Structure 1
């Protein structure tokens, strides 16, 4: 979705504050005595030290090590977790695991409609609505706040790297009031409607499930190694397979120092097709074409660059690890025309 233009929305997100209606981001709620066991079974990330109110980015993986989803997990209590899911179904899989393993855990979809407030002025805006206590929420932590007599969970999180919060609205009518109040109290902050922005997402190295990763990729093939607890003594459906399964592909970054129009998404080393681009954009901040590409690992060992096919012919591209390290790449950013 674009509100002004892709670039205008990008600069607005990076400089001001946006309110995102992300109510399509559904929650999977798990309750009951075996909740902790079921949630741990679904992810190779060790959750044994999770604290109340803590949020976790965690890959969910099946018995082959393939990814099912990459949600944010929120711990309400040992017997109560939320899974704030991405673009695939999780509830039926969770129900199947609970039944198959004979677990005493109830899997449901609560009436929750997330509202994200993102951008460098997000904290100031939310402090005008929920009070100064909002500043005490640490990154990837959540707290409950009273809004018009109703308790709402607010987490310092969101699908951008510009700072911000996610409000888990649990009353549809109050959600409309909250939306109006955010815009009324944020007028001087240049608040505006928004949504996840392609340019900002790629610059920040944020991956999209179903595009950059999916059922046929493991966390290691997506650069999510730090979220797999290989040495942990936990009961996880995928962990044993992930300890032995060898990666076949790798998600890499691609940089081209000028605008290009791709003919297709294939990437080449010499005459060999070695992978495909999964996400791409033009970065107005760094004046570069940026992309994620999934490539066969065997072709990347000695490669320094590759090429893509564009309307202007074959164009060479740099290969880099993700997330992008723009300083190492020698790319100087600008801020609305000013060097930074």
Structure 2
């Protein structure tokens, strides 16, 4: 692969010095920022994540702050999920849609107070859409990107590490809830969340100056826990069915096609700009949907483009993410499959760069 050339358009993060010192071997570009993709190797990083604890630079999960008297109204306009019951202190996973019901992003929303939210976004320029909606409807709300950079702590030993730095009370934070904790006199919003199925936290670090002091404190406190720098792991996220916006779903897909129908309360989500379109989808049902797929045979090559899913000589879908899973002894994959072939146990053929492979649609993701 060619090198990624540095520039002001490709922003470093408050943790980049620590990432480089830890021996990062690969990056991708995410929300115009550097996102580490590998340290030792994808396989070694995978094993360590499942057994120990890692610190992740996920500052690329940029925040959109929505603040003001109309903040709740604007938030409901963005998503078909019913937000009326969302309380301050909660985090909600949200499908965000356009006027056609197409997915624009699948962020985690953090409700800081009745009139203030952070939207922790996946890879897209969602800020412009939110600003446009706020301006077009003349809402009394401020929409901006604050100086907030998430730092992830993920893995089975995450609670032990976090308790050493932030105190035992951090263990009491419930899933998709957050609390306020002190670090060197600075207030930190810490949520029990993260882009893995191994458990952990995301620390919303306000101000770049505190980034490396926090990074160093976590590594100092976790020496005997085997703490390492890490990053979202391709194998582990596919095993757990964690979707990647821009890979597994795009603006061409509705939340129902992305398997996110359970997060859509379209009947009661009054004000959502895509509500009318999604009401039709909810009534008729999707004709294709995300499915886990096991691809048989040896390890497949990296999936950097869609791979056709074929049955009886016809294309019935596409694989969008795939990797060899050491724990499950097969190639795990995420695919968008037509309803005619999405039932568990259906045998299909996936056209990989190395040639056609037999594959089977699965009932559930692996973890």
TM-score, normalized by the shorter chain, greater than 0.5: yes
Q: Which residue is equivalent to 2:235? A: 199
Moved over 6 A (4+): none
Q: Secondary structure at the match of 1:259?
A: coil
**Contact in 2 for aligned 1:257/1:287 (Cα 8 Å):** no
1:112–1:312 CA distance, 2 compared to 1 (3 A): closer
Q: In structure 2, what is the equivalent of residue 31 of structure 1?
A: 67
Shift of 1:257: 4.0
TM-superposition CA deviations, 1:280-322 (whole Å, max 9, x none): 000000101111111233454798210123577543211124x
Structure 1 counterpart of 2:211: 175
Q: How does 1:304-323 map to 2 (within 5 A)?
A: 304-310=346-352, 314-321=356-363, 323=364
What's the offset of the Cα at 1:183?
A: 0.4
Q: Deviations over 1:102-141 (max 9, x none)?
A: 2111101100111000001011001000000101100000
1:68-127 per-position Cα deviation (integer Å, ceiling 9, x unaligned): 100000001121010000011111111110111121111011001110000010110010
Q: Does 1:254 align with 2:290?
A: no
Which whole-Å CA distance do the structure 2 matches of 1:125 and 1:191 have between them?
9
Unaligned runs of 5+ in 2: 1-36
Change beyond 3 A, Cα 1:271–1:137: same
Matching residue of 2:3 = none
Any idea what SS the aligned residue of 2:309 has? strand
Residue 160 (structure 2) pairs with residue 124 (structure 1): yes
**TM-fit CA distance, 1:225:** 1.1
What SS does the aligned partner of 2:333 have?
Answer: strand
1:149/1:126 CA distance change after superposition, 3 Å:
same
Which residue matches 2:56? Answer: 20
**Number of the residue aligned with 2:111:** 75
CA distance in 1, matches of 2:341, 2:294: 18
Kept after mapping to 2: 8 A contact 1:277/1:293:
yes
CA 1:101 to 1:269, structure 2 compared with 1: closer, same or farther past 3 Å? same
Distance in 1, matches of 2:187 and 2:354, equals: 57
What is the aligned partner in structure 2 of residue 324 from structure 1?
A: 365
2:291 aligned with 1:286: no
- In structure 2, distance between residues paired with 1:118 and 1:128: 15
Which of the numbers 317, 320, 324 marks the counterpart of 1:275? 317
CA contact (8 A) 2:238 2:332 kept: yes
> Are the equivalent residues in 1 in contact too, given 2:240–2:366 (CA < 8 A)?
no
C-alpha contact (below 8 Å) 1:260/1:310 kept by paired residues:
no
C-alpha distance after superposition, 1:8-60 (max 9, x if no partner): 10010001000001111110001110000000100000010111110000000
Task: Identify the residue that residue 60 of structure 1 maps to in structure 2.
Answer: 96
Residue number in structure 2 paired with 1:165: 201
What is the CA RMSD across the aligned residues, in angstroms? 1.8
- Gaps of at least 5 residues in structure 1 are 327-340
Whether the 8 Å CA contact 1:55–1:140 is kept in 2: the answer is yes
Mapping 1:41-120, distance limit 5 Å: 41-120=77-156
**Aligned equivalents of 1:212, 1:17: Cα separation in 2:** 27
- The residue matched to 1:220 in structure 2 has which SS? coil
Contact 1:267 1:306 in 2 (8 A): yes
Residues in 1 aligned to 2:366 and 2:324: alpha-carbon distance in whole angstroms? 16
Equivalent-residue separation in structure 2 for 1:195 and 1:258 (angstroms): 27
TM-score by length of 1: 0.91
- Partners of 1:284 and 1:266 in 2: CA distance: 24
Distance change in 2, residues 1:312/1:35 (3 Å): closer
TM-score of the aligned structures, taking structure 2 as reference length: 0.85
Distance in 1 (alpha carbons) for counterparts of 2:356 and 2:147: 51
Q: What CA distance in whole angstroms lies between the structure 1 residues aligned with 2:268 and 2:39?
A: 45
